[in-house]
Amino acid sequence: MSGMGKWIWLPVACAGLFVAGFMSPDLKTGHVSAKPLANLTKRFSKEEPATFEPRELFSNVFASIGKDYSGSMDQRELKYSAMEGLVGSLGDPHTMFMVPDISREFKKETSGQVDFVGIGARLQPDPQGAKIVSVFHGTPAYNAGIKSGDIILSVNSKSMNGLAIDKIISNIRGEKGTDVTITVLRVSTGQKLTFTMKRNKVLTPTADGFMLDGKQIAYVQVFGFADTTPQQFEDTLNTLDAAKPKGLIIDLRSNPGGLLEAARTMLSRYIADKVVVTMRGREGIEQEVPALSDMAKPLTYPIVVLVNEDSASASEIFAGVMRDYKLATIVGEHTYGKSSVQNLFPMPDGSSAKVTIAKYYLPSGVNMDRKVDEEGKYISGGLLPDVNVSLNLGPATVVGDLKTDNQLQKAVEVIESKL
Amino acid sequence: MAFEDNKRRNINLMAKPSALRILALVVAGGASLGGGYWLRQSSDSAAPIDWNSSVAHETLVASAGGIQDLPESDYYRRVVDILDRNYVDEHMDEQKMAIGAIRGMITSLADPLASYMTKEQFAVFLKNQSGEFEGIGVELKLNWNDEKLAKYKKDEQVDSSDLVPDLIVTAIAPGSPAEKAGIKIGDRVESVDGRWVLSARRIEQFRTNLSKIRESKLTSEEMNTRIRAQFDGFKEGMSPVKAKDLVTMGTSGKVILSWQRDKEVLKAEIARQNTTWPSVIKTDGGVQFRFFTGAEKDFEQLLSTNEPLIIDLRNSTQGNFDTLLKIVEKLAPAKRYGYFVHDDGKVQSSLESKATAKPWPALTFIVDTSTRGAAEILATAFGVDKSATKIQGGKMAGELSLIRTTLLPDKSGFAMPIGKFATQLESKDLNKPKKMAMSNSAEVQG
């Protein structure tokens, strides 16, 4: 029997190879999970299998629509709508499936390479069409005389009533050098005006600023948090700092957010190494995101951050972190309430899935998650401002114009009270 | 003794030359490795494809039709896999996702006759098909502007207000609270419980008001107040789908309803209750027949008298199409009565009887624009033979689609049109029908 002893390693080796065979797909991907073990137990369990695997259920209905639906439909559109519905069923407004066109636009927006051929105006939705929020200097719109506050009624004689904002924008954009005719309603005078201009390449800055008229206060507007924003923010602040302001107003109103990384870089000017946010991912795994080192500059004046309900995500991080470290006062209306981070996962055909991979928490530990009622109306969530002031929406109101923007006026008041 | 011999033989095997030993070891090792791999593959077979494997990726790229035509089940697997690996909440319900996909598909058809229904909505839908009504006892229809809907489907730019449907009364259960309150077929629901129902008209009005205010020369304060009031008032609007549910679901409480008929707006507080609508109601002017679940038996009884029949098909609900098919296929004399055809001319099925039934007694169908669905198909099919059937009354609703309903594993479901009824095929309808329209509701088990 002693002869058998030295062969004991054979069954052990066989067992080892068996396990290696079992795990070989994982060795190829470098990704190991417990899923295969779960699948294994399912295979040998005695319970009745479900009559339809979810995937089969979906495939069956897909096929039956293709074969039996009496109207017209496009297979690819059907497939995309299915994916939109599938991802939408999670009930997370920030996790979504994006078809190729929308994926492309989204990537462009977050990269900050938002140079397009158009007229050079920032728009927001309006029941009559679109409202011009700002007109950039030196652009076709600026030169033609279009002003902030104008309501776009029609483009090239086509009514913009009831069109989605991205459809309106695609009507305005076009080939460089081509003409576009825009009819607006100038609310301050009640007149309808028509402008014709040539489309040109327009580079939209995501951060811009100037010294407020008659005040030694710097005013910086940040429109998004893109790749290019930290540099533009830095450049703007350095230019304004040279004029020795007594205070700074950072305007994040209607800033829908963007890259967490951009917000973190911009915050690093004010906080060094301190925690920006704590991310909580799958299975409760937590990760602290600190500010970058060696970028902080000494704070020499009071800061106010302006926000409203359309300030979301990275905007809320920026404002919330500044407040939590007692570096700024928040003025305006409550923010949107988006406290999650998404990643983009591409599909081979150019579409992609934007997926929430983690929730984040501000240094104070507050969870800002937005809560809405069954019809989508806001109930709670977001940052609550230190000084609550609603925008007085007059006909002549221009955001960023100290004479007509009452929220900006309040911000100035707050700064002056701290001097 | 033999046993000992074997032992000795085994020991002898191990003392055999190394080549054979090595071969044995290799076989044992290979079998173990392969065995493990096979077990993994067979238990993973229902699990996601490993997308990081370049072999799988290459196969897909090389498939005919190119990347964009990835088969839908592979696409589904990939999306589910991405979520499964990355979504912040690791507890996901795949059945819920598959049903979400189905909901997305049905909604994308942008077809008034195709709708996804939640569990609650589907339960009431089935009840209605059986003649049992909740709410105030009406059938409501979401009425879209067909022309604008067609443009939207072609991906043309449409004013979004044109895509908001009206909420119209299409049938009223006899003895129901709605009937008692004086509601009539064709009435349009304007407001429910003090909140007005969103409609194209309302949106236009909002825009006109806004435009007037902006074009006026009011002071900043005044204009600001008025604009704010317009926006606030608009935010109070209720979606037509929600209004529909409030009026047709539930058996308790009351609903404050206002509805429009021509230029008149009427209002009342109406109770919700269960109302039973019988399939057969005998009146002096004829028999009111409704295509509720199981009503084919009632129809058979009506036919059995052999007397000429006057059948009143006005105020009909969409009906249970199974009932229609059973009446034709089991009770009608053998004949092909027509076809159910797709918009592109493809024939879905035929409406025919192969039964050895004797001819029906002389029938008179009383119809008008409130005759629709199963009732309209029956009247149209039998109205062809003018010697046997008279059609009395005016034009019918023009709703000739055969609707299939499908129950899903979570008790939600959807309805979808699978063919429009035509008594004859046009020359473009080249396909011969492959099958008779058999049982019409498909239950997907799960």
Closest partner residue to A73 (CB to CB) among B99, B109, B340 is B109
Instruction: Indicate which of B88, B222, B341 best probes the interface with A, i.e. most A CBs within 10 Å of its own CB.
Output: B88
Within 8 A of B109 by CB-CB distance, chain A residues are 65, 69, 71, 73
A334 close to A86: Cβ distance less than 8 angstroms:
no
Q: Measured between CA atoms, how close is B283 to chain A, in angstroms?
A: 38
Q: Rounded to an integer, what distance in angstroms lies between the CA atom of residue A384 and that of residue A307? A: 10
- The predicted structure's pLDDT at residue A373: 77
Within 8 A of B89 by CB-CB distance, chain A residues are 90, 282
Check CB contact under 8 Å for A3 and B50. Answer: no
Check CB contact under 8 Å for B37 and A10. Answer: no
Closest partner residue to B419 (CB to CB) among A70, A81, A90 is A70
Closest partner residue to A13 (CB to CB) among B29, B159, B340 is B29
Name the token pair of A224: 């998004």
Residues of chain B with pLDDT under 50: 1-16, 45-67, 434-436, 438-446
Q: Rounded to an integer, what distance in angstroms lies between the CA atom of residue A92 and that of residue A94? A: 5
Which string of b and e fits B252-283 if b means at least 16 CB within 10 Å? eeebebbbbeeeeeeebebbbbebebbbeeee
User: How many CA atoms, within 13 angstroms, populate the side-chain half-sphere of residue B29?
Assistant: 9
Q: In the block, which residue shows the tokens 């008279």?
A: B390
Q: What is the chain A residue with the closest CA to B78?
A: A347
- The predicted structure's pLDDT at residue B43: 53
Within 8 A of B44 by CB-CB distance, chain A residues are 25, 36, 39
A209 close to A221: Cβ distance less than 8 angstroms:
yes
B446 close to B408: Cβ distance less than 8 angstroms:
yes
Block means of pLDDT (10 residues each) for chain A, 419 residues, are: 62 72 61 56 46 88 96 92 95 91 82 70 84 83 90 94 85 90 89 94 85 94 92 94 95 91 94 91 90 87 95 95 96 94 91 93 87 80 95 73 92 95
Check CB contact under 8 Å for A39 and B46. Answer: yes
Check CB contact under 8 Å for B161 and A161. Answer: yes
Residue B35 CA: distances (Å) to CA of A35, A110, B225: 19, 49, 77
Q: Measured between CA atoms, how close is A21 to chain B, in angstroms?
A: 4
Check CB contact under 8 Å for A65 and B416. Answer: yes
Question: What is the CB neighbour count within 10 angstroms for residue A297?
Answer: 12
Give me the amino acid identity at B2.
A
Q: Measured between CA atoms, how close is B287 to chain A, in angstroms?
A: 33
Q: Rounded to an integer, what distance in angstroms lies between the CA atom of residue A169 and that of residue B304? A: 67
Residue B140 CA: distances (Å) to CA of B137, B188, B246: 10, 9, 11
Check CB contact under 8 Å for A81 and B214. Answer: no
Question: What is the CB neighbour count within 10 angstroms for residue A117?
Answer: 16
Check CB contact under 8 Å for B409 and A52. Answer: yes
Closest partner residue to B108 (CB to CB) among A15, A81, A349 is A81
B391 close to B378: Cβ distance less than 8 angstroms:
no
Check CB contact under 8 Å for A57 and B95. Answer: yes
Across the A/B interface, how many CB contacts are shorter than 8 Å?
304
Outline where DSSP puts E strands in B314-354.
335-341, 347-353
DSSP A286-298: EEEEEPPTT----
Q: Rounded to an integer, what distance in angstroms lies between the CA atom of residue B414 and that of residue B434? A: 24
Q: Measured between CA atoms, how close is A124 to chain B, in angstroms?
A: 15
Name the token pair of A219: 């005013």
Within 8 A of A394 by CB-CB distance, chain B residues are 220-221, 223-224
Q: Rounded to an integer, what distance in angstroms lies between the CA atom of residue A249 and that of residue A181? A: 36
Within 8 A of A161 by CB-CB distance, chain B residues are 159, 161, 207
Q: Measured between CA atoms, how close is A111 to chain B, in angstroms?
A: 22
Q: Rounded to an integer, what distance in angstroms lies between the CA atom of residue A342 and that of residue B77? A: 20
A45 close to B65: Cβ distance less than 8 angstroms:
no
Q: Rounded to an integer, what distance in angstroms lies between the CA atom of residue A346 and that of residue B144? A: 36
Q: Measured between CA atoms, how close is A358 to chain B, in angstroms?
A: 5
Q: What is the chain A residue with the closest CA to B228?
A: A393
Within 8 A of A20 by CB-CB distance, chain B residues are 33, 36
Q: Measured between CA atoms, how close is B353 to chain A, in angstroms?
A: 22
Question: What is the CB neighbour count within 10 angstroms for residue B74?
Answer: 16
Closest partner residue to A52 (CB to CB) among B30, B224, B445 is B445
- Nearest to A86, CA basis, from B100, B322, B168, B121: B100
Dihedral in degrees, nearest 10, Cα atoms B200, B206, B212, B214: -120
Check CB contact under 8 Å for B153 and A128. Answer: no
Strand pairing category for B347-353 and B335-341 = antiparallel
Instruction: Indicate which of A23, A40, A43, A68 best probes the interface with B, i.e. most B CBs within 10 Å of its own CB.
Output: A68
Q: Rounded to an integer, what distance in angstroms lies between the CA atom of residue B258 and that of residue B268? A: 7
Check CB contact under 8 Å for B37 and A89. Answer: no
Q: Rounded to an integer, what distance in angstroms lies between the CA atom of residue B163 and that of residue B112? A: 11
Measure the N-to-C terminal CA separation of chain A; round to a whole number of Å: 95
Strand pairing category for B138-143 and B166-172 = antiparallel
A291 close to A322: Cβ distance less than 8 angstroms:
no
Check CB contact under 8 Å for A76 and B105. Answer: no
Backbone dihedral region for residue A30 (phi beyond 0: left; psi -120 to 50: alpha; all else: beta): left
Q: Measured between CA atoms, how close is B388 to chain A, in angstroms?
A: 31
Phi, psi of A33 (to 5 degrees): -140, 180
- The predicted structure's pLDDT at residue B11: 39
Phi, psi of B79 (to 5 degrees): -65, -45
Q: Rounded to an integer, what distance in angstroms lies between the CA atom of residue A399 and that of residue A395? A: 12
- The predicted structure's pLDDT at residue A131: 87
Dihedral in degrees, nearest 10, Cα atoms B56, B61, B64, B68: 110
Check CB contact under 8 Å for B90 and A50. Answer: no
Q: Rounded to an integer, what distance in angstroms lies between the CA atom of residue A228 and that of residue A220? A: 15
Closest partner residue to A57 (CB to CB) among B11, B162, B409 is B409
Check CB contact under 8 Å for B224 and A29. Answer: no
- Nearest to A307, CA basis, from A385, A404, A403, A205: A385
Check CB contact under 8 Å for B216 and A190. Answer: yes
- The predicted structure's pLDDT at residue A5: 63
SS3 B394: coil
Count of H-run helices and E-run strands, chain B: 14, 19
- The predicted structure's pLDDT at residue A40: 55
SS3 B368: coil
Closest partner residue to B215 (CB to CB) among A161, A190, A396 is A190
- Nearest to A364, CA basis, from A331, A332, A316: A316
Check CB contact under 8 Å for A345 and B408. Answer: no
Within 8 A of A16 by CB-CB distance, chain B residues are 32
Within 8 A of A393 by CB-CB distance, chain B residues are 224, 227-228
- The predicted structure's pLDDT at residue B38: 64
Q: Measured between CA atoms, how close is B336 to chain A, in angstroms?
A: 21
Closest partner residue to B343 (CB to CB) among A71, A353, A396 is A71
Closest partner residue to B445 (CB to CB) among A15, A51, A86 is A51
Q: What is the chain B residue with the closest CA to A71?
A: B343
